[in-house]
Every structure is written in C-alpha cells, then in structure tokens.
Amino acid sequence: MPAQPFPDRPRADALEKVKGTAAYAADVRFPGLLHAMTVPSPVVRGRVAALDTEAALRVPGVLRILTPADFPPAPQAVDMPGSPRPGLVTQVAFRGEPLVVVIAETLEAAIEGAEAVRIRVETEPFSAMMDSPGGVREPARDVTVGDAARTLGGAAMVVEASYESPTQHHNPIELLSTTAVWADGRLLIHEGSQNAGAIKVAVARTLGLDPAIVDVKSPTVGGAFGQKGWVQRQTALVARAAMLTGRPVKLVTPRGQIFHLATFRPHSRHRIRLGADASGIMTAVHYEVEQQNSRSGGFPAGQYHEGAMRLYGIANYHGAAANIRTDTQAPGHMRAPYEHPACFAFESAVDELSYQLGRDPVAFRMANDTRIDVHNGRPLSSRFLNDCLRIGAERFGWSRRRAEPGSMTDADGTQIGWGVACGLYPTLIHPAIATLRIRADGGTRFAVAGHEFGQGIRTALAAVLTRELQIDDRRLEVLIGDTTAAPQHLTAGSWGSASALPLAVQAVKRMRLAVAELLNGRRVAGTLHQQIAAVRRPFVEVEVSQLGPGQDASALERMRAGGYAVTGPAYPSFTTMSYIAHFVEVRVEPRTRRVRVPRVVSIADCGRVISPRTAASQVRGGVVWGVSHALREATEIDPRYGGFLNNDLAEYVVAVNADIGDIEVGFIDEPDPLFNSIGLKSLGEVAMVGVSAAVANAIFHATGKRVRKLPIRIEHLL
C-alpha cells in the first residue's frame, strides 16, 4: 500500500480539452456520412393508426425513412444495461418514444424530412404524474432491523415529517449522439457512453447480430452522470440505418427529445419518523418512501432508505419502499440516485431532531457515530465521518455560530444561516480485466474497462501507472471506453477507480515478473523498456483480472459477456462506504427573499486520494450540483398532455456561475486498510450527497423556516 499521498498532477486530457481537439462521438468523420433524425411520439399512449411518409420522402436530400417494418421484432426487453431495446414501435408507451427515423444527406434535410412525416395515433388514457388517476401503487417492500415501532413509542424525542424531491433531468453538455459504420461484415459504433460493453450486447440482441461483430468506442464523453449508463433507444436505430443504407449514419438527439428518451431522477416522497433517547442518541427510525416509475421500468425504490440508514447505524429501523407506476419513459440513475434525495430527507430530519433536543447539529451528529453496518452488524472497513465534521467545522468557523435560528442578521436585514449535513455513498466494485503492454521503444499502453466523462479516471490511471513504473507519461497510452481494447463494463456508481486502479498496480507487478523471467537471471540496468530491448522483444504484454471481495470467477465471465456484475458495499467480512460533511452559509435577502450561497466547506473521506486535482474538482462539481438541486432544478409535467414542459436549458434552471460562491474542499486522505491494495474508496457521487440538506438546514438557521420540499424557492420563504 502506498504510504505517501499521491502528488498533484495535471489532468491527463487537459490540453486536448482546452484546445478543443478532444474528439467526442459526434466529432468523428467518415466519408459519405448520412444524418438521421427521429420523429418522436406526440402523445403519451396510443396505437399508430396511420403513417404517411410521402411528403417527407419528397424533401430534397432525404434518402430513406425507417419504420417499424425495418426492424426485427426485439426480444422481450427489461430496463437493464445490455438488454435489447425496442426498434421502432407502433404501440406508444410514453411521450417522445421514437416512431420513425428519417435518413438524409444533410442534417437540415433530415430535420425537414422528420417534420414532414404525418402520423395519426389513436390515443389512449394515461397517467402522467405520481398522483394522476391510473397510476398503480405497487405493494411496498420492507426492511426491518430491531423494533422501530416499539422504540419510537418509548423515545424521549421524535421528529415526524415528509420530505419531497422533484423530477429532475441530467443535462450533460454532450448530447446523446451515435455514429454507426457497417463495413466488411462488422458494425462499429461511436457513442458517448458510460457503458460501451452493454451497447455492444444490446445492439446485437436488438438487431439479431452476433455481439462478436460489434465494436463500440467511447473514449471521451462530455458528461454522463447516469444518463449515459443505460443503453439508449437511438443506438440500434442508427446501427440499423447504417446497415440498410450501407453508409455511415450519425444521429445527435436534440435536448428536447432527450428529456423524453433518457432516464431521469423520478419524483420521490420520504416520510420519516426519527427518535432519540434523552441522552441524544438516535435509537429508531421509520422510513417510508415512494417514487414515480414507468409501467415496466426497473430502478427499485428500496435503496433510498437502505443507503441513508448506514449514516449512523441506528439500531432499530423499519424501511418501506414503493413504486407508483405511470406512463413515462423509465426513470434511472442520476448522480447519487438514491443517496441524494434520501440524505436530503434524512439529514433534514436529523437536523430537526437536533434542534428539538437543543443540541448543536455538529455535536449531535458526532455523538451518533457508528462502527458497524446496521444491515448486517459487520464492521465498516474505514470511517472518518467525525473527522470530516471536526475539520469542516474548524475550517468553516462553526464555533462562531449562534445557535438560535434567525439570530445572525446583517445590518441591512439579510438573514445569515449556517447549516451542516452529511452524506455517504457505497463503495462498489465491478470485476475487470486489463492488459499492460510495455514496448522496447519506450511506449506503454494500459487497456482496461472505464469511461472518461470528465471525472478524471484517465488521470487517476496515469497517476498510478507513472508512480509504479517511473515512465515518461507522454509515451503512456491509457485505452478506456473501447470494446476492442478490453471488455468494458458500466462505469457508474462511483466504482470506476476501485475497479480499474488496483489492476494497474497488479499489472505492473505481473510485468516485472514477466520481464525477470525473460532476463533469466541476467542483470540489465535501466527501465523496463530497456530491459525488454535487451532481450530483443518489441514488447511484453501481460493480462490481469480483478474480482470484488467475495466474488468468484463467474462474475468475470458475466462481465466478459457484457453483463452487470457489480458488488458491494456489503462484502463478506466488512462494509465499505465513503463519507462527506458539508458546511453551508446562506444569506436570505430581507425583501426579495432571494437565497444566496456565498460559501461551502466540504470534507470527504474517500480513502486514499489518487488524483488530488480531479478529486477536488469532482467535489466542487458535486457541491455545485447539490446547490442547484436545493435551489433550482425541477422538471415540470403538464398532467393534461404528459411529457416534460421545461425541456431545454433555458427553462430547466440549473445553477450558474453567479449562483456559486467559494467552495473549499478537503480530504481526510486515509487509506482504507481492507478494501483494496491502494486503499481508495468511492468518490464522485458522495460529493453531492447531503449538500441540499445542508442548504435547507442553513435556511432554517437563517429564517426559522423549515422547507421540506425541493427546490427551495422564494415563495417558500415569504
């Protein structure tokens, strides 16, 4: 285990990104490229009764129009990465479902052609929102630890409240884009994705191809955060268009359509009863949650309370989670999918309880520290949440805080509030396979599963490899997001680093052994490159693989087949979580009631930090998104027509530069002793968890108003 912290180093792809030469999927060029545009369903539910493509085919440049007849009937799909997707449908299940694809010589012709297609849909009744008639509430699934009802009955203090998190959509700057090339009996797909391996399998299954002839490349992705982890509808449509026309085809889906096609964060409600004994120890919690879901979508609801309950290890806990099935596209993972809404609710309730008990919110949380995972009683492999709270409080100046809500006011009447909240995220791991090739001429190539969507996995891999190998990293090639280089698994759930970085360490060890064997006792001074040159080999390549704690080789086989084999955070002998503490200052203007967030201090426990610069950048990004969720973001639904109304970046309001003040980031940087050889845990998602609760808690401290529904708006503070 590296004893020393990793040094700071620049982002591996910084220069390309700044110069604009980093190639995203829509930037790839092929001679004879055609453009595609889909025609989305204008209604939520119904049957396509008539399809008139005559006028569209007369648009100059329009080459061909794909209809449902152009697709093999897809096998039954479930909403999982790697599952086949329907081609084009005649039975509409949600507004925006693609019905027709127009293929043209230019983008303009494709758009004009799509607008000229006439479709008549016989509409059927639908439910657009969680409370719409026709929504079906599934029976709740329960988790019980100890006896929450009895303990709450005898608790010294109980908080009971409902919290609400709205529908939200990811808006990565890179739109969903696919370019497909069909040549020499092979299909090549370029798409910005977190899941090149699943695309390979899903497209093959949808189109009736052998996955072995499908290659997917996704080396650089312009933001993802869960949206690009799922296989998109469009991929197989574009692939089919390339096969039928014999020419490369590109589709960049407009943002307005993406709101209706991609997964999103569903609306959820969290009803919490939380009790403490007279000494201020939390003894019981009853947590009921319900979320909107599609008619057949996955994305189970139970993880909201299951995750949050690992924050303090409260001994008596009852959780119940239910889906409400409506007519929408499937919701899915959006940055800290469960932990973010759950910790908004739970860390708000914890804050309410601390006030009711008359305890300082930081001291109250620290007094409720735990060493065990409440779900199984096993130890946590490492936990430095109290250090996060202690260091954060020092840096923030928490000791200067006046306890009484509404007691910190500026001369002009601006109300100042200081709030705290914690967050956590599981540390998961996916099995993976990597190859390391070292060349006699000085080049090094490392290929592994992983996707770079800005989080810095390429930089972190380079940090580990250069440290282990002492090589010139200008000659280092890190190949990720490419199914031709290594089997690719889903990069999500903040498991990217844990699933790739220890493999780099292992590969270097294996390489040293391999080279030593070739040297056969000879002593050759210098680098591995020079040693390989000395034995007259152009290169030496080694392959290594890694399983999660407790996994057997079948997980690796599932992964090779494009399946999903993630494990954690509960491992056979321990549980591994990452933690963060956020301290937030808000200022509420006296007349307009506008809320500003001038400063945030966030301290994270993510085990060993590998790439300090990109790690800090991830935390800042998470805080920005947390503030955005707390104060800005919500997708609006019109119950009469279904679909999403504010489906562009003008009306889906996100935090901008002017909304964000100082963000100070710190890391505990203590290696986890059990989880892996480097001592790293998850980062990425934990960064935003708890931010919105810290904002809401600060607003309560500023104003005395407890807002339990996101986003918090001016009208809630009048």
Whose Cβ is closer to ligand MOS: residue 40's or residue 337's? 337
Considering only 327-335, 392-400, 429-437, 689-697, which stretch makes contact with ligand MOS by CB under 6 A? 327-335
Tell me how far, at minimum, the Cβ of 96 lies from ligand MOS, in Å.
Answer: 21
- How far is residue 46 from each of residues 92, 196, 544, measured CA to CA in Å? 5, 33, 51
Closest to ligand MOS by CB, 95 vs 333, is 333
- Which CB atom, from 471 or from 492, has the smaller least distance to ligand MOS? 492
Torsion of CA 357, 363, 366, 367, to 10 degrees: -50
CA distance 343 to 176: 30
Q: Cβ(497)–Cβ(683) under 8 Å?
A: yes
Q: Which amino acid is at 119?
A: I
Of 603, 612, 600, 608, which Cα lies nearest the Cα of 579?
603
Residues across the chain: 718
The least distance separating ligand MOS from the CB of residue 323, rounded to whole angstroms, comes to 18
Least Å from the CB of residue 428 to ligand MOS: 11
Window 180-209: contact mask with ligand MOS (x via CB under 6 A):
--------------x---------------
Helix residue ranges, H only, 246-337: 255-261, 303-308
The residue (of 310 and 340) whose beta carbon lies closer to ligand MOS is 340
Distance of closest approach, residue 496 Cβ to ligand MOS, in angstroms: 9
* CB contact at 8 A, 609 and 6: yes
To the nearest whole angstrom, how small is the minimum distance from the Cβ of residue 596 to ligand MOS?
27
What residue has token string 């100046």?
Answer: 397
Q: Which residues pair with 269 in a beta bridge?
A: 164, 290
Stretch that binds ligand MOS, among 66-74, 256-264, 334-342, 506-514 (CB under 6 A): 334-342
- Letters for 615-654 (x = contact with ligand MOS by CB under 6 A, - = none) are ----------------------------------------
Closest residue to ligand MOS in the complex (CB): 226
Toward ligand MOS, which CB reaches closer, 95 or 430?
Answer: 430
Q: What are phi and psi of 465, to 5 degrees?
A: -65, -40
Residue 181 CB, shortest distance to ligand MOS, in Å, is 27
Q: Please state the closest distance from residue 453 (CB atom) to ligand MOS, in A.
A: 8
Residue closer to ligand MOS by CB (options 225, 304) is 225
Contact 121, 47 (CB under 8 A): yes
Are 622 and 691 within 8 A, CB to CB? yes
Of 227 and 348, which has the nearer Cβ to ligand MOS? Answer: 227
Binders of ligand MOS among residues 414 to 453 (CB under 6 A) are none
Find the part of the chain contacting ligand MOS (CB under 6 A) among 330-338, 420-428, 456-464, 670-678.
330-338
What SS3 state is found at 670? Answer: coil
- State in angstroms the smallest separation of the CB of 300 from ligand MOS: 14
Per CB under 6 A, 334 contacts ligand MOS: yes
Per-residue binding letters, 216-235, with ligand MOS (x by CB under 6 A): ---------xx--x------
Smallest gap, in angstroms, from Cβ of residue 622 to ligand MOS?
10
C-beta closer to ligand MOS: residue 493 or 642:
493
DSSP classification of residue 387:
H
Closer Cβ to ligand MOS, 245 or 567, answer by number: 567
CB of 226 vs ligand MOS, minimal distance in Å: 3
Q: How far is the CB of 516 from ligand MOS (least distance, A)?
A: 40
Q: Work out whether 337 is an interface residue with ligand MOS (CB under 6 A).
A: yes
Q: Which residue carries 């590998």 as its tokens? A: 610
Q: Which residues contact 109 (CB under 8 A, 6 or more apart)?
A: 35, 59, 60, 61, 62
Q: Where are the alpha helices (DSSP H) in 139-293?
A: 148-153, 196-207, 233-245, 255-261
* Smallest separation, CB 541 to ligand MOS (Å): 31
Q: Output phi, psi for 637, to 5 deg.
A: -120, 135
Query: Closer CB to ligand MOS, residue 135 or residue 226?
Result: 226
Stretch that binds ligand MOS, among 49-57, 263-271, 285-293, 332-340 (CB under 6 A): 332-340
Per the CB < 8 A criterion, the answer to whether 423 and 341 are in contact is no
Asked if residue 335 binds ligand MOS (CB under 6 A), the reply is: yes
Give the DSSP H or E segment for 164. strand 157-165
Residues 448-467 that bind ligand MOS (CB under 6 A): none
Of 685, 693, 697, 710, the one binding ligand MOS (CB under 6 A) is 685
Task: Give how far the C-alpha of residue 636 lies from the chain's centroid of Cα atoms, to the nearest Å.
Answer: 22
E strand residue ranges, 267-336? 268-276, 282-294, 316-326
In 3-state terms, what secondary structure has residue 47? strand
Nearer to ligand MOS (CB atom), residue 493 or residue 568: 493
Within 13 Å, how many C-alpha atoms sit on residue 30's CB side?
Answer: 22
Q: How far is the CB of 494 from ligand MOS (least distance, A)?
A: 7
Stretch binding ligand MOS (CB under 6 A), from 25-33, 275-283, 328-336, 501-509: 328-336
Q: Is 286 helix (H, G, I), strand (E, B) or coil?
A: strand
Task: Tell me the closest approach of the beta carbon of residue 566 to ligand MOS, in angstroms.
Answer: 11
Residue 716 φ then ψ, to 5°: -80, -10
Smallest gap from residue 490 Cβ to ligand MOS (A)? 8
Tokens standing for residue 7 = 């040094």
Q: Between the CA atoms of 597, 603, 606 and 607, what dihedral angle is there, to the nearest 10 degrees? A: 170
Decide whether 289 or 492 has the Cβ nearer to ligand MOS.
492
Of 347 and 685, nearer to ligand MOS (C-beta) is 685
SS3 of residue 66 by DSSP: strand
Shortest reach from residue 228's CB to ligand MOS, in Å:
8
Annotate 327-362 with DSSP letters as a single string: SSSPP---SSTTHHHHHHHHHHHHHHHHHHTT--HH
**Of 492 and 624, which has the nearer Cβ to ligand MOS?**
492
User: Pick from 35, 270, 310, 333: which binds ligand MOS (CB under 6 A)?
Assistant: 333
Token pair recorded at residue 662: 């100082």
Cis status, amide bond into 711, omega within 30 of 0: yes
Q: Minimum distance between the CB of residue 27 and ligand MOS, rounded to whole angstroms?
A: 23
- According to the binding rule CB under 6 A, does residue 82 interact with ligand MOS? no
Tell me, by CB under 6 A, how many residues bind ligand MOS. Answer: 11
496 binds ligand MOS (CB under 6 A): no
Choice between 304 and 317, CB closer to ligand MOS: 304
**By C-beta, is 170 or 217 nearer to ligand MOS?**
170
Contacts of 174 (CB under 8 A, 6+ apart): 24, 25, 26, 192, 221, 222, 223
**Coil vs helix vs strand at 158:** strand
Nearer to ligand MOS, 229 or 275 (CB): 229
Strand partners, 136: 325
Among 428, 492, 559, 586, binds ligand MOS (CB under 6 A): 492
Tokens of 405: 């809500």
CA-angle at 63, arms to 57 and 66, nearest 5°: 80
Q: Could you tell me if 41 and 96 are in contact, meaning their C-beta atoms sit under 8 angstroms apart? A: yes
Q: Interface residues with ligand MOS (CB under 6 A)?
A: 194, 225-226, 229, 333-335, 337, 492-493, 685
